[in-house]
Structure 1
């Protein structure tokens, strides 16, 4: 294979040919390792002319912690793209070894801990490690050629290590943080798994942001070494991220992966509000098809504290809207607004014929928290645009009605406006003044597949899927074609409490007969717990939660002690796939046991939380006089008898097998 071909394969693999990896993905029994074009068998130990060191869970940290620059490929033996890439890296290793660039490989099928730590979900996956700190490969594109690869690795290796996050301590924290325009600080502990997962992204973002315009610094505070600093900011969980502007702290509400951190912090840098000096500039700023814009109209005689409060609030809302301000009274007059007011201009794409397109805060609150809430509430047009970024700030109120569709404006502008107008024509009758307030929005279906699934509308065949999210997590789906009439009826039924909420549910079991522990799903919960002819006890769990695994061991022991008793029935429900009705209040801590006494429809939560079978038996026996049919001794003897019987059967089977082998 030619070198140019190898480079092309590497680039294609990096950019668009990654193989998907499942947790237990294996080759079929009849599958074979197929040689690549150059004769390199998949999973072959030697690569090109140079053999790449094989790292694993046991030797990885020792191998990378003292190396300034190492390129590591995470691969699987059955992945053909991985084999081709290993060949290319082997060739590059020979060219760059003398330049201080090291190469290695990790078989993720043999190194499960490394796979989990670095979140390897697809192979091949290339990571750059600098003294144990990993960052993703962000190298040349497919058209750049081999020399570009060499130049990239050499340039990356030449960047000093200290250009990652700044190490903050009790001694330097105040001097650095209070003198820096903006810095993102991570409070972390080395043993924390989530901190380990964030580490490569945080370090990579730190290197990129240091050279952004304006530069943004990232720093780290290690716990428990710098516990004095952590206590000052009430750090209880890790990792905790806080944004500081000249020492003043702000909550970090952004993503926790490299690209998201970089994007978020670039938006956080710079002044919170743009100074607008003319009428033309102000009008241009106010007009945006997609962005929310707020303008503070002040005068030169305005109290400086009022403007400062506006600017400070701007730092807290800058991810949700862009802020501007003017101190020219002539600009306010020409625009038709009074001074010392704030006007929030809504995105033109989402303004209907039923509204003005802006909202005015006539009196600026003295409390910054109140001002922030007002900015958020005034930023919503009649039917706004909910996104992943603003759903927790602008669209967190309930009840909320959302229409999910394809919001590709360049392709479907006419269709989007049609559905938006239908929703707006109904929404105008449910404003705060009507005392029947709902929040209305449309959202891109590609951003919210989980919401659509929760509404049970994943297979909905129409252009738009509509649902209402109420308080306490309840949700309701419109299951008719969207029209003004069907939407109004849907909302009125919701407000009149005539709708049945949509619950997550597994398929209803065909039969539970003969099962000591009945499988209960969302659709059968009310039937199971509503059977007043028996005492009912149900376990609610998430299968992978540690405490739920423990409950899965002791719950059957409780059930065994009540064997043959018709007056009590036991059930269990997987809370990862099913919901309980909204009328059932849970404390959110799993496992949860719910009990309903014979003859009563009231459901109570078993408290205090059981920790073993003895606690549950005590609850049934002492508190509700439901005595078990078998004692612990009976259960132990039965278990011993069963084991002895199975042991004899196994010995008998071994003897038969031995005789067969002799023959």
Structure 2
């Protein structure tokens, strides 16, 4: 049977196909992705899903930017992650839209605006040389043009370590400003003997010269040096700067202060010498105690009493708060830091009280009993790490209770448990930390290693996972039905006599 579509539908389909074919955005898939991005000096790729609202909002801006940038020979492309699920997975795509800038196949995250003019401006800047030629008359202005400016003073633009310096510049063009000086008079005026690399900062010590032989400097070493210099001795941590500190890997030493306090600068200046002394071990920061009061609570700072001081070991999420019954002084902070660095300071663990009984189908874990129950090698243990405010956790709660009820009769072999993570700290012996909620982890009997559960949050999937990984027998003992109580014969006869109808 032949189906004839109405003219209006045909026109609409035709216009759709034409619009797609007329697009200046390249469609990439598994067949052409690598060959395309590896051959382009610069290309922006959007990984999207057709159902994603943010992707739909971005689409017209992305198309407009592609048309404008086409004139500048800068290409924009997109990958449909529903059609190309394996490709997107291999690229580590976890949300939509995700945008990445590729240079000859090497990717960095796009961190620019998502409007057409912003995309154009960002990509044009990306197309410019990562390293600027700095002349003598522009030298002073250039070294003050950004918070962190790295300048290589070389005999020529190709002298060692120009290639390594350029590679670092390409990777961090959004983080720092890079320049090269080959004018020997300019180098002499700056008091520099080539070859040398100097970083100029708008904070702390203004000028720092690369402390090792420059000829042997590698991209990685330069990156590490710049990362260390990018962190002030005592800077402010907030939503914009936290990632810089988190990426450094060093513990954070927080000074919580009220920014309206007249003595704020006095408090910071008192601690600054300690921060300078221990900069190689910890990152000292000050934080707005009024705005981030909840963060202070999360770090086990019990009272809203400022200033307050606490050390946080980021990797293990351990907290070492300063005694709030004592005044925060430079001497007190130094004593706390010295003990921490020496490894003699014990973390303060937050814990709810241990439940008086565990009669329910789900065992309640808290900071104080976590090791005892979770590390019991005679039992399989399945733990849900949750937060009371988490919507996903609330939806999982009745299913988790059902799982507990299913295995309630064999709690001596299999423990279904839950742990309120914001209200309890994991002991330092635990080899992992919880980054999101709910997180489900299973520890088989005879082991202390936890297995991540990443399946569907249905009762059937949870049961299948338990059956696959449990080491103990999951056989549920049969419950015998109670037999009815026997009535004594004399009573039975009496009852019959009393109730028998006479004819």
Please report the TM-score for the alignment, with normalisation by the length of structure 1. Answer: 0.53
Other structure's SS at 1:299 match: coil
Q: 2:190 aligns with which of 322, 335, 350?
A: 335
Instruction: Tell me what 1:541 maps to.
Output: 384
- Residues 467 and 170 of structure 1, relative CA distance in 2, 3 Å threshold: closer
Instruction: Tell me what 1:401 maps to.
Output: 252
Q: 2:133 aligns with which of 255, 275, 287?
A: 275
Deviation readout 1:1-56 (Å, 9 max, x if unpaired)? xxxxxxxxxxxxxxxxxxxxxxxxxxxxxxxxxxxxxxxxxxxxxxxxxxxxxxxx
Deviation readout 1:293-338 (Å, 9 max, x if unpaired)? 21222233x5356324322311211232222222112222221222
The CA deviation at 1:215 is 9.4
Instruction: Tell me what 1:604 maps to.
Output: 448
Distance 2:452 2:207 in 1: 54
Deviation readout 1:327-372 (Å, 9 max, x if unpaired)? 1122222212221222122322xx1xxx565342543445423332
Instruction: Tell me what 1:183 maps to.
Output: 43
**Preserved contact between residue 250 and residue 316 of structure 1 (Cα < 8 Å):** no
Q: Are 2:213 and 1:363 aligned? A: yes
**Preserved contact between residue 318 and residue 347 of structure 2 (Cα < 8 Å):** yes
Instruction: Tell me what 2:199 maps to.
Output: 344
| Unpaired segments ≥5 residues, structure 2 | 1-8, 387-391, 454-460, 483-503
Q: 2:270 aligns with which of 422, 437, 461?
A: 422
The CA deviation at 1:581 is 1.0
The CA deviation at 1:490 is 1.7
Deviation readout 1:512-540 (Å, 9 max, x if unpaired)? 46445442333x335864999x9777542
- Residues 617 and 266 of structure 1, relative CA distance in 2, 3 Å threshold: closer
Deviation readout 1:100-148 (Å, 9 max, x if unpaired)? xxxxxxxxxxxxxxxxxxxxxxxxxxxxxx98xxxxxxxxxxxxxxxxx
Q: Are 2:135 and 1:284 aligned? A: no
**Preserved contact between residue 466 and residue 477 of structure 1 (Cα < 8 Å):** yes
Other structure's SS at 1:403 match: strand
Other structure's SS at 2:187 match: helix
Q: Are 2:409 and 1:554 aligned? A: no
Distance 1:266 1:418 in 2: 45
Distance 1:449 1:271 in 2: 44
Mapping 1:10-409, distance limit 5 Å: 165-168=25-28, 182-188=42-48, 190=50, 196=52, 198-200=54-56, 202-203=58-59, 206=62, 209=65, 218-223=76-81, 230=87, 234-235=90-91, 237-238=93-94, 241-245=99-103, 247-252=104-109, 254=111, 262=119, 268=126, 270-278=128-136, 281-287=138-144, 291-300=147-156, 302-304=157-159, 306-348=161-203, 351=204, 355=205, 357-364=207-214, 365=216, 367-384=218-235, 386=237, 388=239, 391-392=242-243, 395-403=246-254
- Residues 570 and 217 of structure 1, relative CA distance in 2, 3 Å threshold: closer
User: Which has the larger displacement, 586-595 or 181-190?
Assistant: 586-595
**Preserved contact between residue 542 and residue 576 of structure 1 (Cα < 8 Å):** no
**Preserved contact between residue 535 and residue 568 of structure 1 (Cα < 8 Å):** no
Instruction: Tell me what 1:454 maps to.
Output: 298
The higher relative CO (CA closer than 8 Å, separation ≥ 6) is in 2
**Preserved contact between residue 359 and residue 379 of structure 1 (Cα < 8 Å):** no
The CA deviation at 1:286 is 2.3
Deviation readout 1:270-310 (Å, 9 max, x if unpaired)? 332332212x532233236x72221222233x535632432
Deviation readout 1:350-400 (Å, 9 max, x if unpaired)? x1xxx5653425434454233322322233343345565564456523432
Distance 2:291 2:187 in 1: 38
**Preserved contact between residue 346 and residue 380 of structure 1 (Cα < 8 Å):** no
- Residues 309 and 268 of structure 1, relative CA distance in 2, 3 Å threshold: same
Distance 2:131 2:294 in 1: 35
Q: Are 2:374 and 1:521 aligned? A: no
Distance 1:593 1:170 in 2: 36
Other structure's SS at 2:165 match: helix
Instruction: Tell me what 1:580 maps to.
Output: 426
Instruction: Tell me what 1:40 maps to.
Output: none
Other structure's SS at 1:612 match: helix
The CA deviation at 1:457 is 4.0
**Preserved contact between residue 542 and residue 591 of structure 1 (Cα < 8 Å):** yes
**Preserved contact between residue 295 and residue 324 of structure 1 (Cα < 8 Å):** yes
Deviation readout 1:403-452 (Å, 9 max, x if unpaired)? 356798xx89x8664444333201233254xxxx2233445669977754
**Preserved contact between residue 165 and residue 218 of structure 1 (Cα < 8 Å):** yes
Please report the TM-score for the alignment, with normalisation by the length of structure 2. Answer: 0.67
| Unpaired segments ≥5 residues, structure 1 | 1-62, 69-129, 132-158, 598-602, 623-627, 639-663
The CA deviation at 1:485 is 1.2
Mapping 1:444-483, distance limit 5 Å: 451-457=295-301, 460-463=304-307, 466-480=310-324, 481-483=327-329
**Preserved contact between residue 236 and residue 285 of structure 2 (Cα < 8 Å):** yes
**Preserved contact between residue 520 and residue 572 of structure 1 (Cα < 8 Å):** yes
Distance 1:327 1:424 in 2: 38
The CA deviation at 1:188 is 4.2
Other structure's SS at 1:369 match: helix
**Preserved contact between residue 253 and residue 312 of structure 2 (Cα < 8 Å):** yes
- Residues 556 and 483 of structure 1, relative CA distance in 2, 3 Å threshold: same
